[in-house]
Amino acid sequence: MSKFRAFISILSLFFAGSIAVNAQKYHTDIQLSWWTDTTSHPELKPLVNLYSDYINSHPDSVYDNPHWNSHEKLDYKDFDFSQNSLFQAGLSAKALFSSFTPMLLKIEKKDTIYQLTSLLKAKPELGAEYSLYNPLAIMVYAAVKENGQWKMANILPYKTANWNKAQLGYITFYRPSHKVDNQLAMQQSIKFCDSICQYYDLDEPSPFSIYTVNGTHELGQLIGYDYYIYGNAEGKSINNIVISGNGNPYYPHEFIHQIWPQNDKRNRLLNEGIATWLGGSMNQDFKDLAKSFSVNALEKVDASFEKSLEDHSLNFYTQGAILCDLIHHYCGIKKLKLLLEKDTSDNDKLMQALLEITKWKLSTFNQNWECYVENISKS
């Protein structure tokens, strides 16, 4: 995961500031396979055009995209479920398609929809060094008819249409087996969410759904990937949907993403930090993760907080969790909640918010951070 994030960061820096819809115009030509060539298959031309139009309409950005179906745009803020995995670390569509060519492999009729399968393949000029990322992804979309026109759609509702479901409180549980029968895990899920909301004085959660599968690959298939470079994550939270890839509907890390108040200007370090502090990560609890992080951080010549931010070899999920723990320890719950409400969208704003919350000088903050990390390493 760290190598991929570094690779994505290189592309992002090359096209710095390219997230805004109108900031950088681009056009990328898609490639067709024998199965999608419109000379041999002229009936597919409207669907080929739809895919090309969508690829060239800033799929990295959330706005009223004319090529996506209105039902999902109305129901979900991040309506393309594949978007936040593909465009990581601020990677723009222009940067991505400057290095990877979209190729539409096949278009298949599936009941009332069409299924579009495409591939992102590395351009030759990218070099052999990045052969590991070729292809970057094999993606699967649905195409649906809306007011006589074809529109892009997520594949998830069509792949799970015949799944069994059960509801408990504000959570709806889905899984592909003959029945949803893990009552203990369902009750544990509600109990965990209720306890967090009560302790931190949060509003009752809005209804959300959990889809339970086995492993990263099955998780990827639900959000539109037959293959993708995404690391080894087994959980995903998008809009009001949690996908648990560990075979168990109880996934506290992703529950925090659902029940903690959203803030679009919150630093990703804090977003993942609060979820890891309260819900663990990758089937490990915070204490074990924090000790491992602290031992590794102290092996660095400079273990200051700012230097740790720049070190991509360290787990930023755990660094964020330790930061939440530190603020909670020194400043209390109210100050921690206040920090999570602030604009910390970049690292400079994050540091400014931290110094405002703690009333510490930068040198004091770094000293307390190093001391805190050292104490965790000895625990």
Q: Residue ranges of the domains in the chain?
A: 2-154, 160-259, 268-377
Q: What is the pLDDT of residue 18?
A: 42
User: What pLDDT is stored for residue 88 in this prediction?
Assistant: 79
Per-residue pLDDT at 121: 93
The predicted-structure confidence for 353-379, as pLDDT tens digits, reads as follows: 999 999 999 999 999 999 999 999 988
User: Whose CA is closest to 270, among 318, 335, 314?
Assistant: 318
CA distances from 313 to 32, 152, 287, 319 (A): 39, 37, 19, 11
Q: Is the dihedral of CA 256, 257, 260, 265 positive or negative?
A: positive
CA–CA gap between residue 330 and residue 295 (Å, rounded): 22
Taking the C-alpha atoms of residue 276 and residue 253, their distance in angstroms, rounded to an integer, is: 6
Cis preceding linkage at 66, omega within 30: no
H-only helix segments in the chain: 2-14, 45-55, 70-75, 83-86, 93-99, 156-159, 183-199, 216-222, 252-259, 268-279, 286-298, 305-310, 316-331, 333-341, 347-358, 362-377
pLDDT at 308: 77
Predicted pLDDT at 231: 58
Please report the pLDDT score of residue 317 as a whole number: 92
Which tokens is 78 given?
């991040």
Domain 160-259, CATH number (from 3.40.605.10, 3.40.30.160, 3.40.50.1100, 3.90.1150.10): 3.40.30.160
Query: CA-based angle 241:8:298, to the nearest 5?
Result: 90
Positions of the chain with pLDDT under 50: 1-2, 13-22
What pLDDT was estimated at residue 375?
A: 93
Question: For position 379, what pLDDT does the model report?
Answer: 85
| CA distance linking residue 76 with residue 62, whole number of Å | 10
pTM surpassing 0.85?
yes
Q: How far apart are CA 31 and CA 29, in angstroms?
A: 7
